[in-house]
Every structure is written in C-alpha cells, then in structure tokens.
Structure 1
Amino acid sequence: MPLAAASRPGRAGLEGLRRMRKIVIRAGGVAIRARLLDTPTAERIWAALPIEAAARTWGEEVYFDAPVSSAAEPDARVVVKPGDIAFWPDGDAIAIGFGPTPLSRTRGEIRLAGPCNVWAEALDDVRQLKSVHPGVAISVQEDG
C-alpha cells in the first residue's frame, strides 16, 4: 500500500475529524466555544471562516450576518434550546438564542424568527451573550 494512502484517514476517521471541529465566537469581552455538528450548513459555515460582522439583538438572542446561503434542512426548527447555534436561512444570519425572544410563547422558550438549521452546540454558557449590545463586532473562527 502506498504511504500516502496509509496516512489518509478512512471514512470513519473523516467523520471523527468532523465531530471534533470547534469554533470560537467572540463579541466584546465574551468568548463562546462550540462544536460543529455534521450538517450541510455546518460545512458551509466552516468553509466561510473566519466570519466578522456586527452583532444585532432580538430579545435574548444575538444574531449576525454570515456570508453563507443555505436552505432550511429537514430538521430545521423554530424553537431551540440554550446552547444551540443556529443559521436562519431567510436572513442568511447566525442566530444564538439564550432566552425568550419577542415571539416566545412561554417564559423559558427560545423561539427564533423562523425555521433555523442548528449547526453547532455551544461548549460554554451562551447566557454570557446578554452583555453583547447591537453594533458590537462579532467574529467566528476556528478554535485550535
């Protein structure tokens, strides 16, 4: 077997590498690490890194433009849980909810503006984003 072929990871190895991909989202004094999921949207966002934008807020959600387009995936959802990092296809924006939004129907519900693709899971407490104000520079980069 050629050396190059022996050093390439097999399919299981590639899937393992995908599961280990991490990013860091920075805004003001906040840094949140996240693990990418194995989704088409995650692939598109990973390929577009680094991303820099101005933060916007909507209730207890921070969102920002991303240079990515992606259709709603079959498991797109409107209600997310704390720690879900989502992509809003209708606005080409990354959305991170950490509490109720203007559309939330119950006290603890995080209801986004429309169906979103969850593409990463936060490894740190997303409630830190409560200190982020509109217009603050926000970035998404590979972590590690």
Structure 2
Amino acid sequence: MAKKRDLSEMSAEELFELARLREKQEKDLEKESVREEIAELEAQKKELNVEYKAAISELDKLLRRLRKKAGVVKRSGGSGGGVRQGSTTARVLEIIGRSKSVSSKEIKAQLDSEGIATKYLPQTLASLKRQGKISSAGRGVYKLA
C-alpha cells in the first residue's frame, strides 16, 4: 500500500487489513504514552524518596545532637516493655531445670505469676529446642537436654 488509494476502490480484505494496521498503530501509540507516564512517575517517586531520606537523616542528626546535649542515651534493640531482653528465656530454662519435665501450660502459669510476658512463649520454647538446650518429653512437655 505504498500508493494512496481511494477507499471505494479497495476490497473488503484490504479495508480490514488497513483497519487492523491503524488499530495496531493506535495501540502502540497508547502503550508508548503509558510507558512515558510510568517513567515520569518513577522519576518523581525516586526524587521524593531522596528528599524523604534526606529529611529523615537531618532529623536523626538533630535528635542525636539534642540527646547528646541532654545526656539521654537511646536504648538500642527491641521495645521490651520494661522486661529485660532474654529474661523470658532464662526463666523458662530455670523453670524446666527445677523438675524432670514440665508442661508448657505450667511454664506459662509460672511466668504469668512472676509478671513476665508470655506472648511469645511457644517461639521461645521452639528456639530453645532448636538450640538443643531443651528437648520434648511428650506433646507440650519439656525437659532439659
């Protein structure tokens, strides 16, 4: 179709081919405009991330300077909720060590009575078991390894 022909002179097949070609060109143009918009938005996102990180860094510097000036040292590590980190693990080992075997319910009751958080007791027991410090004496029953 190098020459321009009058539409009335074209066959139905040629018209359909021309329509398909035109539709493909329109889709390609639309895809290209979407790609350009994506590139622009990604550039904006990158710029905002850089600005955000710079602002956070500036605030961190200011906080460190003020804490140092006030003599306040920020605690590193988890929140802990006022409980020493690792105290749950140590107490679990002590409780299990006092008897031949003890159930997880008994461990939980003992920790609750002492005011120690038991939210992650199953994970603590699993971790101690993986480390080889305790072993299973039955379902939900533990003993020192």
Q: Which TM-score tier does this pair reach, normalised by the shorter chain? A: under 0.3
TM-score if structure 2 supplies the norm length?
A: 0.22
Could you say which structure has the higher strand fraction?
1
Select the structure with the greater relative contact order (CA < 8 A; seq sep ≥ 6): 1
TM-score if structure 1 supplies the norm length?
A: 0.22
